[in-house]
Amino acid sequence: MSRPGPDPHQPASSRPVQAARYWWQRLLHNLPQKFLALLLAFGLWFVATEDRRANIQQTYDVALDVRDTTGGQEKRAIDGLNPASVRVTLSGSRQRLGALNASDIGAYVDVTDLPDGEFSRTVRVVGPDGTRSLKVVPTVAQGRIDAELSRSQPIILSVTAPPNNSVPRYVLSPRQVTVSGPSQVVDSVARVVTVPVTLLQGDQLETRLLALDAQGQPVKVRLTPASTTVARIDSGSLPVRSVPVRLNTPPGNVRVLSSNIEPATVRLIGPEDVLAAISSVTATVAYRSGSFSSQPPLVVPDGVRVLDRVTVQIKAETK
């Protein structure tokens, strides 16, 4: 049975009191049932969201950083940091950890005020808000602190053979690169080369640079700039001819038992009429008794250039 609302015929001064009494009675009406319904709704919500509130654990591979706030004019660099990354286990809600990336987590070693040389420091982890760091593996990182060195070095062009008989010409921009890093590492850089490129006449291409040691292995340093622009500027093809290589006649007191020429033919460039008259070129070997290898000079006419280098293997004896 519904209760009557405020009487519209009552004086205006008594209407607020009557309205308040009316809504208070409405609030108390079936109060136990209302309270029970509220408890039931809260219980259902609590059960439904329990999985989202529960803390879980998740592991991330995090790149290791080095912090160095040591004062002074000399710049310092870190070499041989080991490991380069660590496995960090965080605890937090499923919703919070599910939204994280490894880049959101900080893992570092602090080498501030340590002297130059080898170091071993504890790894520290800074997790985002709402998470807790449980474990980091490994717990210690090693490396070497060294003075930072920068030096300028020419860039060596690396190109594949052109697709025709042209003799290509290239220009680099820039032609120099600044190599920076720990002094011991920079000192091991023997050359800086371009990634091999193939260019047609008139083409240009920006290509990456690589720092290599004396054995041709990559060296991890900073290169400024990290790339260079290669442009091919030759305008046309020049005459190129391939001819066989012959050995010069050994002296009378030496007998050649075996010989091998690699490559057996070489490419020549020069005036077309001069090239047409060349049937072979002679490798001038300094003969001696025994087995030996050499890269002898090749005899060619003036104005002609040899594009290949010849290696000769000789086995000879004295007569």
The DSSP output letter for 250 is P
The third-level CATH classification (topology) of the domain covering 55-146 is RNA Polymerase Alpha Subunit; Chain A, domain 2 (2.170.120)
Residue pair 153/176 in contact by the 8 Å Cβ criterion:
yes
Residue 174: per-residue pLDDT: 93
Report whether pLDDT(304) > 70: yes
For the cut 50, the answer to whether the pLDDT of residue 140 exceeds it is: yes
Spatial separation of the C-alpha atoms in residues 177 and 209, rounded to whole Å: 9
Choose the weakest-confidence range: 38-52, 161-175, 291-305.
Answer: 38-52
What's the Cα-to-Cα distance from 10 to each of 3, 23, 124, rounded to whole Å? 17, 17, 76
Give the tens place of pLDDT for each residue, 158-203: 877 655 555 677 889 999 999 998 888 899 999 999 998 888 888 8
Mean pLDDT of the chain: 84
Kindly report the length of the chain.
319
Q: How far apart are CA 211 and CA 152, in angstroms?
A: 12
Continuous H helices in the chain: 15-28, 31-48, 50-53, 94-98, 183-187, 272-276
* The pLDDT value given to residue 1: 47
Q: Is the distance from CB of 195 to CB of 207 less than 8 angstroms? A: yes
What is the pLDDT, as a whole number, of residue 210? 95
Model confidence pLDDT, tens digit, residues 205-239: 999 999 999 899 999 999 999 999 999 887 666 67
- The answer, yes or no, to whether residue 8 has pLDDT greater than 60, is no
In the chain, domain spans: 12-48, 55-146, 157-232, 240-318
55-146 matches 240-318 in fold: yes
Helices of type H across 15-62: 15-28, 31-48, 50-53
Q: How close are the terminal C-alpha atoms of the chain, in Å?
A: 138
- Give residue-wise pLDDT tens across range 81-134: 899 999 999 888 888 888 888 888 999 999 988 888 889 999 999 888 888 888
Residue 221's nearest CA partner among 79, 85, 110, 109 is 79
> In the CATH scheme, what is the code of domain 240-318?
2.170.120.40
pLDDT recorded at residue 245: 94
Q: Per-residue pLDDT averaged across 291-317, rounded?
A: 90
* Predicted TM-score of the model (pTM): 0.47
